[in-house]
A and B are shown apart, each in its own frame.
Chain A
Amino acid sequence: MRVEFTVNGEQYELDTDGDTRLLDYLRDELGLTGVKEGCGVGECGACTVLVEGKPTLSCLTYLPQIDGKEITTIEGLGENGKLHPLQEAFVETGGVQCGFCTPGFIMVSLKLLERNPDPTRKEIREWVEGNICRCTGYTKIVDAVQLAGKWLREKGDKVEL
């Protein structure tokens, strides 16, 4: 079938039988390697992207499912070569160690900050419970999300992509 969608604002149109995961298309065809494959079965959150603004697992999503939809990956954040405040906060707090899980954590947390720019540590932990990190012990990831929330509140910015 013919599918049309946008990725980070760019329009794409192609024919697909369906047998291509969004994850593979983004990585292999578009070179967006910030999207990571961890478990491949929906248990680790590393492949999280936004579909219509909603955190979605690209390892369990196939191209026909995104027809007409808007996709955002980690590469679509920030502007003019500057990091998005949430990315900046991960750098600042040391929320990144090996980095493999980081794009997934950032993509899922964006939506939390959009709903609530001042989440408690418990709310953050619950929101990211589908994402696994094997390095940080999570403490600094939670710090990063809180710090980004603080920056965004101070600037009076709404969380936008």
Chain B
Amino acid sequence: MGFEILVPENEDELISLMEEGDYQFLAGGTDLFVKIKKDLINPERIIDLTKAIDGPKFQVEQNEVKIKATTTHAELAESSLINKEFPVLASSAGAVGATQLRNMGTIGGNICNASPSADTLIALYLLNADVDLVSSDGRRSLSIKDFITGPGETELASGEYVESITVPKLSGKFRHFFKKVGRRNALDISVCSMGFILKATKEAIEEIRLAYGAVAPTVIRPGAVEDFLQGKTIDKETISRAQRLLKEEISPINDIRGSAEYRETVALRTLEQIRQN
């Protein structure tokens, strides 16, 4: 143990602190300080991002909403803007941890930890969100899918930080769904999580996007299932064919929270939610 926490007040201070040596970022601290306590990491310098990334949490543009990386899960879950534009993001943020952890943990932290079972990532994959990165070289944006490369692994370069997340607005009315399955509700890490947004008439699916967590090294969008469902009538036969396709796209593992077989069963079962309503 033994570390120093540095709190830059603005972007320039932040960038120069990053250049001065090794560091770990701190936003809400709900993952970082647990890892330190459990001796999984032992950083000497910690850079707190919460003051440097300031200003309004949400910025509404014509076609998109920019969300500051330091926005907490509680702020997302309770925002009337997010509940209106992106209900699936509000409900996934509301499913994180427990009251206290939602007040502390941030969306940027959830993204950078890149856990395959992170709740808000399901929504960000569904919404085709972009991650906006800043470094001394300038700015760049990567799609969430390209930013996250594996469990706990991202494209974040040394000297670079996540400033915001840009979420394109949806056109038309979608049904939003998010579900996490775990042994208990609070504080548990999902055995499987799933979300979809769906636009459909009585006859057929007009547009569907699906995302799965905890059944592959990262959150995934099962493209073959999405393609298959497009234009289909929502009935039992469609769902069971989609389930067969989904089976090929997921690669669940055995771990302390659940067996691969259980995860697969749960993942396939959640597809039936599309038939509700």
Contacts and interface: CB of A to CB of B under 8 A. Distances in A.
A70 B164 CA distance: 27
Interface in B24-73: 26, 29-30, 33-34, 37-38, 46, 48, 50
Contact of B187 (A55, A108, A130): A130
A5 interface: no
A109 B6 CA distance: 33
A128 B99 contact: yes
Interface string A69-94: 00000000000000000000000000
B101 A57 contact: yes
Contacts of B101: 42, 57, 130
Contacts, number: 84
B104 interface: yes
Interface residues of A, number: 30
Contact of B29 (A40, A61, A129): A61
Given A40-B37, A65-B48, A19 B3 contact: yes
B37 A108 contact: no
Contacts of B248: none
A4 interface: no
A126 B187 CA distance: 11
B4 interface: yes
B97 interface: yes
B29 A108 contact: no
B157 interface: no
Contacts of B37: 40-41
B158 interface: no
Interface string A54-67: 11110111101101
Interface of A: 1, 17-19, 40-43, 45, 48, 51, 54-57, 59-62, 64-65, 67, 108, 111, 126-131
18 contacts: A17-B4, A19-B3, A19-B4, A41-B34, A42-B100, A43-B187, A45-B100, A54-B103, A56-B103, A57-B100, A62-B29, A64-B48, A65-B26, A65-B29, A65-B50, A128-B99, A130-B187, A131-B98
